[in-house]
């Protein structure tokens, strides 16, 4: 993304005129990643008029803005996170759009006009779809599509997300707008495109997308995919099963098969490599360092550190003795909320963005498939703890069924890589402890129960049931999900 590319009028004066409004509005967005740190400045990356601002009706302004905040600077990238903003500009905001108000501009090229969140305006949201229907470029932005997209689809914004924004068009398509922008291909476009080429039907194939810039400095801005109307996510289905006293074994088995099919297709479509001695040792060291940092943040972990660290040391020891593991592109943030069961009873996997808080290069790195498996296994544990009394045997049956389904479809049982699977489960549980301690203390007992189990020698009795009321809600680790 080249800085200050623009097709907007008076780009030099544009951002300063908006800064007072953005200072107030931007840090309050759910998708703003820099909460808790002051905003010290803004830098314009690009400004594009998708609909001229001089028209009688509303104009549509696309901005990429770099937000400057205190933090370590690196020589490899400009300081601060880059965010994608779509702003409506009008003389008078209709009352129905008052919740979308950002503010009134008092100086600069937009002086006297009102600025608001454009995606809340059906007219401007519809215009964005029109741009996707017509491939081409507008200034630094390029629009692409693989199939013809019908027009006249009514847009609506989904309100369940936190790190991105999604719009549904006519219950036929869903457009994910990435808010925090990184140079490079976003896995949520890259991997579904690869899976579509491989003929994998478990993932909705992208039908259109738009980008800023080209080559390695280009960035994915949004992806349009079929909307799986009437689908239910695995987290809600699991909770419903628990509430109704029903088993979830058939569903878990089928989800294991679906996961394996996705992994198999990714391994065919994209390169695979070997996790050899040095890489496995580095992986174990990185996990150990995360454990040390987590223990500083949550001292309750301290008694379990030797047992938890043993899981990482086992992987390093196996590597030293000559063990290797196959690594490939994987989902990277798989849990029950990222799996949808369609009305015909089939499982689909969505949201391949990975953990948005991690650098894009890390999210695109090949990893062992058991990382995704560990994410689902932890998700079953969370679901079981959401019900009172706790049902550890329910979770264990689901875990076994999921792994069996995976083995049937792939020919490789993840339980055969027990040391690596246990290490990833342990690393995930440690992450969960820190997350819950910071954001949802009432949930802390869930990953702490896993910590007690994982810190015990393999085959030891699991942790006893925890007292307290049942938990409600859903996991918060990657909340971009479709209802």
Number of Cβ atoms within 10 Å of the Cβ of 24: 11
Whether 467 and 449 have beta carbons less than 8 Å apart is answered as no
How far lies 422's CA from each of 198, 276, 358, 444, in Å? 31, 18, 22, 20
For residue 368, count CB atoms less than 10 angstroms from its CB and return exposed for 0-12, middle for 13-18, buried for 19 or more.
buried
What is the model's pLDDT at position 299?
Answer: 97
- pLDDT per residue as tens digits for the range 239-288: 999 999 999 999 999 999 999 999 999 999 999 999 989 999 999 999 99
The pLDDT assigned to 417 comes to 95
pTM of the predicted model as reported, rounded to 2 decimal places: 0.90
Q: Higher confidence at residue 78 or residue 308?
A: 308
Residue 412: partners with Cβ closer than 8 Å, 6 or more residues away:
260, 406
Give the contacts of 402 (CB within 8 A, at least 6 positions apart): 252, 253, 255, 256, 259, 373, 376, 377, 380
With vertex at residue 17, the alpha carbon angle to CA 15 and CA 124, rounded to the nearest 5 degrees, is: 70
Residue 103, pLDDT > 90, answer yes
């Amino acid at each position: 993304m080249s800085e200050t590319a623009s097709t907007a009028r008076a780009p030099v004066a544009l951002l300063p005129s908006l800064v007072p409004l953005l200072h107030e509005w931007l840090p309050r967005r759910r998708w703003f990643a820099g909460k808790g740190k002051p905003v010290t400045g803004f830098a314009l990356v690009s400004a594009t008029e998708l609909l001229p601002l001089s028209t009688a009706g509303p104009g549509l302004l696309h901005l990429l803005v770099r937000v400057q905040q205190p933090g370590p600077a690196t020589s490899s990238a400009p300081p601060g996170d880059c965010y994608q903003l779509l702003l409506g500009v009008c003389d008078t905001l209709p009352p129905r759009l008052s919740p979308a108000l950002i503010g009134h501009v008092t100086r600069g090229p937009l002086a006297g006009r009102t600025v608001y969140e454009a995606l809340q305006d059906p007219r401007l949201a519809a215009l964005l779809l029109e741009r996707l229907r017509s491939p081409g470029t507008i200034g630094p932005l390029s629009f692409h599509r693989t199939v013809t997209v019908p027009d006249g689809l009514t847009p609506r914004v989904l309100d369940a997300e936190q790190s991105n924004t999604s719009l549904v068009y006519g219950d036929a398509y869903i457009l994910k707008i990435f808010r925090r922008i990184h140079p490079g291909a976003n896995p949520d476009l890259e991997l579904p495109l690869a899976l579509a080429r491989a003929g994998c039907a478990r993932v909705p194939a992208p039908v259109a997308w738009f980008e800023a810039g080209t080559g390695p400095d280009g960035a994915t801005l949004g992806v349009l995919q079929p909307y799986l109307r009437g689908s239910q996510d695995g987290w809600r289905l699991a909770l419903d099963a628990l509430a109704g006293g029903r088993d979830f074994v058939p569903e878990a088995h089928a989800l294991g098969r679906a996961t394996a099919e996705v992994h198999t297709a990714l391994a065919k479509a994209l390169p695979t490599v070997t996790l050899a001695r040095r890489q496995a040792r580095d992986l174990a060291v990185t996990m150990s360092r995360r454990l040390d940092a987590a223990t500083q943040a949550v001292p309750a972990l301290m008694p379990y550190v030797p047992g938890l660290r043993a899981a990482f040391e086992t992987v390093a020891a196996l590597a030293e003795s000559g063990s290797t593991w196959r690594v490939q592109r994987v989902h990277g943030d798989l849990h029950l909320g990222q799996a949808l069961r369609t009305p015909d009873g089939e499982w689909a996997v969505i949201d391949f963005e990975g953990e948005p808080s991690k650098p894009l290069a890390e999210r695109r790195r090949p990893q062992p498939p058991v990382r995704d498996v560990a994410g689902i296994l932890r998700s079953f544990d969370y679901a079981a703890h959401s019900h009172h009394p706790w049902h550890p045997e329910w979770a264990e049956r689901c875990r076994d069924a999921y792994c069996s389904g995976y083995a049937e479809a792939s020919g490789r049982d993840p339980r055969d890589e027990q040391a690596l699977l246990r290490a990833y489960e342990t690393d995930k549980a440690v992450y969960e402890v820190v997350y819950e301690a910071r954001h949802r203390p009432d949930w802390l007992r869930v990953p702490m129960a896993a910590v007690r189990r994982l810190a015990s020698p393999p085959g030891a009795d699991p942790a006893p049931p925890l007292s307290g009321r049942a938990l409600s809600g859903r996991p918060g680790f990657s909340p971009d999900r479709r209802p």
